Amino acid sequence: MKAIVFSRHPGLKVAQPPLFTLIPDSAVTPSGMPVFLPPFESSWELAIGPAYRIGRLGKNISPRFAGRYIDGMTLGAWAVPVELLHHLQGNGQPTGLLSTFDGALTLGRWQQPRLDSPLAISAGQTQAQWTPGDIALEDTLSAASRYITLKTGDVIIPMLSAVRLPIAPDDIIEGSIGEEEAIRVKIK
């Protein structure tokens, strides 16, 4: 299992070639497990947004068939080391280091996917709503499958979320999709 996080903001077109980050399975914390922040950083944020699970093997998937490959959705919470991010970006260096540490991504409980309706999420005191066009799941899945074989259990995070919360040890962050709780993250 791998997670593919697209470097695009809601509503923007998917770049060609696509810009995304791969998060290995070793960096994904299962639902319900605490996230231990590594000691290499003192300032952290949690970016929370929709995540979609691939339900079957696929390569070069046409956007019109993308929905057939999705079997679940949840919220993903990506722990971002703020100072390291700014340092790497400011020096024009690759940011792959941000997605390889243990606990880089936490996934919530899987739900039935909602592909054709607006998606409303809340986390902490922050709320966001996106249309299917803002998320562009079909285009991101198609773009990723041109370069990577998508396997059962892989996760697509189609955009960088505007829902970013500062976090510190002992915080508990909860997030929901609509009225249904999707994720609860304990920070250690």
Phi, psi of 170, deg, nearest 5: 80, 0
Domains of the chain, start order: 2-186 (3.90.850.10)
Mean pLDDT confidence for 53-76? 96
Q: What is the pLDDT of residue 14?
A: 95
Mean pLDDT confidence for 55-73? 96
How distant, in Å, are the alpha carbons of 77, 85, 106 from that of 63? 26, 32, 27
Phi, psi of 45, deg, nearest 5: -130, 155
Distance separating alpha carbons of residues 89 and 85, to the nearest angstrom: 6
Span 88-132, pLDDT tens digits: 889 988 888 888 899 899 999 999 998 999 999 998 888 899 999
Q: What is the pLDDT of residue 160?
A: 86
Q: What is the pLDDT of residue 83?
A: 93
pLDDT at 48 over 80: yes
Tokens describing residue 116: 């054709």
Q: How confident is the model at residue 2 (pLDDT cuts 50, 70, 90)?
A: very high
- CA-wise closest residue to 23 among 109, 96, 108, 107: 96
Q: How confident is the model at residue 179 (pLDDT cuts 50, 70, 90)?
A: confident
Q: What is the pLDDT of residue 95?
A: 83
Q: What is the pLDDT of residue 65?
A: 96
Q: Is the pTM of this model over 0.85?
A: yes
Pairing of strands 70-81, 44-54: antiparallel
pLDDT at 162 over 80: no
Tokens describing residue 77: 């919470």
Cα three-residue angle 9-103-17, rounded to 5 degrees: 35
